Amino acid sequence: MTKTAGELAAAIGAELNGDKDFEVRGVAAPERAGEHDLIYIEAAKHSERAATSAAGCVIAADDVTMRGKTVLRHAQPKVAFAKAAAVLVEQGPIAVGIHATAIVAPLAHVGKNVSIGPYAVIGEDAHIGDGTQIGAHCVIGAGCWIGENCRFHPHITMYARSRVGHRVEIHAGTVIGADGFGYVYGDGRYWKFPQVGIVEIADDVEIGANATIDRGSLDDTRVAEGVKLDNLVHVGHNVQIGAHTVIAAQTGISGSSRVGHHVVVGGQVGIADHCTLEDGAIAGAQAGIPTGKTIRAGQTVWGTPAREIGKFKEAYAWYARLPELGARIKELEAQMRGKGKKKSSPQKAQRKKGK
């Protein structure tokens, strides 16, 4: 989509320096940009990249000098660039119209301008909001509710009665509403605990490919507005995730854990059952959070078991020195043994004399 520099500046809240009528047609990295692409730089040390780029328009901070280009000044260039990209880059359609091979139950409610791809299945009493796109081979179970302007990529499965808000994007292969891992042991075997809750996903959530979100057992599993889940994230039954939290790939959250708002969770983090990550907490990549542990608001943790990052770094520094410390201990032990032998020698000589 083409916008003038002046229109972009107004859209992203930037100060314009240069030609307000300059046409911007796309976004790119400085080295790959054409004349009508938008680029950005965050610091003065990258000025040379922008200066040698073919791009005619650049987003930059106030302290960056830039000649010969139209500049959009913003305190957070990367954030401004992302906002501009949302305006300039049009998303390709996932589906167009309702394909002849799609199966839509007679009692399903399909809103205006809904697109449903090949071989998708929409169950009885399902609700699909206006402008939503459902990709090929998706299965939307009976009684599911999907809001307006959502984007469901191919091969998504929503189990019965799951609910998704407006403007939600879900990538290929994700499963929402499968039974949670709930069993109790008795009489020599495992008995399945009821999994009769639902999944509720709020507005403006994005879920990566092959993620899994289990339905609640007796309660519900809830994902609040603005949450971003990466590929291969697993959310167990009854988990509650607060607004605008981001969770990176291969993280697993066990049942009945609570994650607050604006929490950051790195890749491959393991969160055991009944844990709490309070608002604004940060869990570094591969952190392991044991059952029932609470990570306090604003705290950053790392390691397994997870601990405050300062303590983790201190412990890790000692861990890295273990070979060196082990060698020193062996040396000291050898010295002590040598001293012991020297002390005992005169006594042995006396004993020999007595004989």
Decide if 137 is catalytic: no
**Rounded CA gap, 175 and 294, in Å?**
28
- Please state at what angle helix 77-88 crosses helix 5-12, rounded to 10 degrees: 120
Active-site option among 166, 171, 234, 237? 237
Structure tokens at 233: 């994230």
Q: Is 17 exposed, middle or buried (0-12, 13-18, 19+ CB in 10 A)?
A: middle
Contact in structure between 26 and 38 (CB atoms under 8 Å): yes
E strands, 100-188, in order: 103-104, 109-110, 115-116, 121-122, 127-128, 133-134, 139-140, 145-146, 151-152, 157-158, 163-164, 169-170, 175-178, 183-186
Q: Which residues pair with 151 in a beta bridge?
A: 133, 169
Catalytic residue list? 237
